[in-house]
Structure 1
Amino acid sequence: MSSVTAQMSNNGGPWRLYVVLYGEPRWPEFRWEGTGPVPTVAERRAALAVLGYETTPGAGWSWCEDSRDPDDITTPVLLIAAVTVRPRGEVTS
């Protein structure tokens, strides 16, 4: 399997992390309980490990923001982070 993207998002509730697998009906997902601060890099790595993935060497998290209604600047912001991942233990050349 080649590398894929993991995303983490929050729209005011719990943070959730999921691995984007196109063509699959369900994506691996991890949710943190409650509405705490942004999960640390260590917490994100642990969550990815639970899902069977790891970040690819040299990959860093990128952040962007979105909203349910991009034409209304008063709507709550949806934060989205993304990183390239691979199945745990997979070696790429």
Structure 2
Amino acid sequence: MAGEFTAQMSVYKGRWRLYIVLLDGLTCPWPEYSFDRVAPVPTFTERVDALSVLGFEPVPGAEWRWTEDSEDPDDPASAVMLIAAVQVRSWTGAGA
């Protein structure tokens, strides 16, 4: 698996999960890691460790970006969902 991908993190079923968005049409389900909690938000180090478990690493210089969404886009009173995203690549390993 070569190239860059988007890793996203959001709360799903009461816990933070990190997943790699693979739009190749071949990978289903997407690689996913669960933090098994809703609070606190996973730290930067925890996110990098989770990416490593999935075989990925942030692209050098990439920064996490946070986006606000809603559970029901047609309802302005709907609960807010936060989605974090960062560009990643397949993990090259130490010294590679």
TM-score of the superposition, structure 1-length normalised?
0.89
CA shift in 2, pair 1:8/1:68, >3 Å: same
Amino acid at match of 1:21: L
Unaligned runs of 5+ in 2: none
Q: Which amino acid aligns with 1:39?
A: P
Q: Is the 1:11–1:76 Cα contact (8 Å) retained in structure 2?
A: no
Q: Which deviates further from its counterpart, 75-84 or 64-73?
A: 64-73
Distance in structure 2 (CA, Å) of the matches to 1:80 and 1:35: 13
Verify the 8 A CA contact 1:21 1:27 in the aligned structure 2. yes
Shift of the alpha carbon at 1:12? 7.1
RMSD: 1.5
2:49 to 35, 39, 46: 46
AA of the residue aligned to 2:59: T
Q: Name which of 22, 29, 32 aligns with 2:32.
A: 29
Q: Which residue of 2 aligns with 1:60?
A: 63
Residue-pair matches, total: 90
Query: How much identity, in percent, do the aligned residues show?
Result: 53
TM superposition outliers: structure 1 runs of 4+ over 2 Å: none
Distance apart, 1:52 and its partner CA: 0.4
Deviations 1:21-60 (A, max 9, x none): 1112210000011221111100000000000000000000
